[in-house]
Amino acid sequence: MVGAIDDLLVEALFVSYLQASDEPTAAAVHQAITETIVRYGTDGCVARVAAEFGDHPDIAVGRMIWVREAVRAAYPTVDHQQL
């Protein structure tokens, strides 16, 4: 179950409005994830991640690296073995 939760956090942040250049706090990451899940739902987040990797793989890879690091930092008590 933890892996599925980690995946959802990562996918939601990936498709959120938040950017690495914003240098977001943990609270900003939490808020962006929550707002994105409410807006798109879990399936919508997954679909948008897939679309970005299909349309812009060169940019998507860099964003995914940042997103995984941001989720690890914002949720330090979650077991991130799947990230």
What pLDDT was estimated at residue 77?
74
Is the Cβ–Cβ distance between 18 and 53 less than 8 Å?
no
pTM: predicted TM-score of the whole model, two decimal places: 0.87
What pLDDT was estimated at residue 43?
95
What pLDDT was estimated at residue 1?
34
Bigger pLDDT: 15 vs 82: 15
- Average pLDDT of the residues in 7-28: 96
Over the stretch 26-68, which tens digit does the pLDDT of each residue have?
999 999 999 999 999 999 999 999 999 999 999 999 999 999 9
